[in-house]
Amino acid sequence: MKQNQAFLPYMADLYTLFCVALSFIFLVTPFFIELSFTASIVWILFSCLINVTVSLINHNHSHVATFGYRWANTIFEIFLTLTRGASASFIVVIHNLNHHKYNGKTGDWFHPSFEGRGTGFSRLWRYLFNTFKAFKNGAKNPEFVWPAYLKKKKGFENSILIIFTLFFLYLSPVKYLFFIFLPCMFGNLFVVFTNLVNHKNCNPDNIYESCMNYLNPIENFLLFNGGYHVAHHINANIHWSELPEFYNKEVSAHIDQKYEKGSMLKTMLWDYLFNFQSNNKIRELV
């Protein structure tokens, strides 16, 4: 994780802090106020959407630390853990140490072939199931060496998360299910799913062809420039706010246009959620 001695090295991370704070507020506020049924539905939907940003922020933070001081990052990682509903440090294992190493090749715990065959909707859920199974089996594989500091951090973060979970379960199990568990689950699943649409039908043997790039400016503003995906894989130590400039100056000239698309959301909707036709031609990436 790249760190800088300025307290907040990148002013763009004011947006980062805003999103985490907003998501945390949306998770816990319903336990202390009463919402109508209609207001609850709207609240949960918005909370699910804003929680997506927290998982993206966790990803960004694992590469380039949000704060320049270790103590500040430790506190921030606790908030990320509570707001995501999962250890902030575990992403370093599944993403930094595995995904960036294999980048769509055999051994990648996010491998696109996990979607299998069938309708778009069935492939979506199969991919999520198989990916989480790969996380579990891969992290427990004796051949995979856990860095000692990550084991310690993961244990600490999970302990704080358990206390947080038990407290809100005590206040209201029903509210916990709908106002905390559901948004956290949605945020985590959505970001895992982005790995499929980012790497499917790509060529992992060529770094410039190893990812799809989604250049819709509104989506990239909302999702921390995650659409400039190949730029991130080429240099993971670039802050998310600098990815468009790096992509335009250093990467775009090497990209075949078939690896550049507009909206990631459109791809997700039409290829998976609204695609009820069977697709039995799955390209194996090795």
- DSSP-derived pairing of the beta strands 213-214 and 260-261: parallel
**DSSP-assigned beta bridge partners for residue 279:** 118
- At residue 281, does pLDDT exceed 70? no
pLDDT digits (tens, 9 = 90+) for 158-185: 999 999 999 999 999 999 999 999 999 9
Q: What percent of the chain is predicted at pLDDT more than 70?
A: 95
Average pLDDT over residues 25-41: 97
Average pLDDT over residues 191-207: 95
Torsion (CA) 33, 22, 164, 172 in degrees, nearest 10: 30
Q: What residues contact 157, with CB distance under 8 A and at least 6 apart?
A: 77, 78, 81, 87, 88, 89
CB 24 within 8 A of CB 84: no
- At residue 52, does pLDDT exceed 90? yes
pLDDT digits (tens, 9 = 90+) for 266-280: 999 989 988 767 665
Interatomic CA distance for residues 186 and 84, integer angstroms: 10
Q: Residue 14 — φ and ψ, nearest 5°? A: -60, -35
pLDDT digits (tens, 9 = 90+) for 97-142: 999 999 999 999 999 999 999 999 999 999 999 999 999 999 888 8
Closest C-alpha among 179, 148, 138 to residue 31: 179
